[in-house]
Amino acid sequence: MKRLTILSLLILTVVGLLTACGSKKDAGENASIDGTYVYVDDISRSIVTISGDNWYMKTQFGAPGYYGSDAKYDSGKVKGKVLYYSGIIEYGKVSGSTLNIGGRRYRKQ
C-alpha cells in the first residue's frame, strides 16, 4: 500500500511540474511585443516603437553621438508578431526580444 501511495505522489508531482512548465511557455509565447526596439550602425540609428496594432519608425543618419536633425519616418500595422507596411506588405517580424527588418536585428530596450 505504501508503495502505491509513493508512486501516486510521484506521478502527481511530475504532472504538476509539467503543467507548470507548459503554462510558463504559453505565457512567454503570448507576451506582448509592445515596446521600443533599437538598431545602430556606423552611419545610422533606427528606433521602432510598437504599440498595440501599430508600429512607428524613426531613422536618423550620421555618426553615433551626432545624428543630424533630419529624420525619416515610417509606420504601419501589426498583426500577431508581424509588422506590415501599408497594411499588406510584410516588413518585419518579432522573435523574443529581437525585431528583424531587412536583415537588421533591432534589440528591445
- pLDDT tens for 62-93 read 877 788 778 999 999 999 999 999 889 999 99
Per the prediction, the chain carries an average pLDDT of 82
Residues 20 and 62 in one domain: no
- Do 64 and 51 fall into the same domain? yes
Q: Based on the domain organization, do 11 and 50 belong to the same domain? A: no
Split into its structural domains, the chain has a count of 2
Structural domain of residue 9, as residue ranges? Answer: 1-31
pLDDT of 1 higher than 90: no
What CATH number is attached to the domain comprising 102? 2.40.128
Q: What is the pTM of this model?
A: 0.71
Binned at pLDDT 50, 70 and 90, residue 10 comes out as: very low
pLDDT at 37 over 80: yes
Examine the pLDDT at 107 and tell me if it is beyond 70. yes
Residue 29, by phi and psi: left (phi above 0), alpha (psi -120 to 50) or beta?
A: alpha
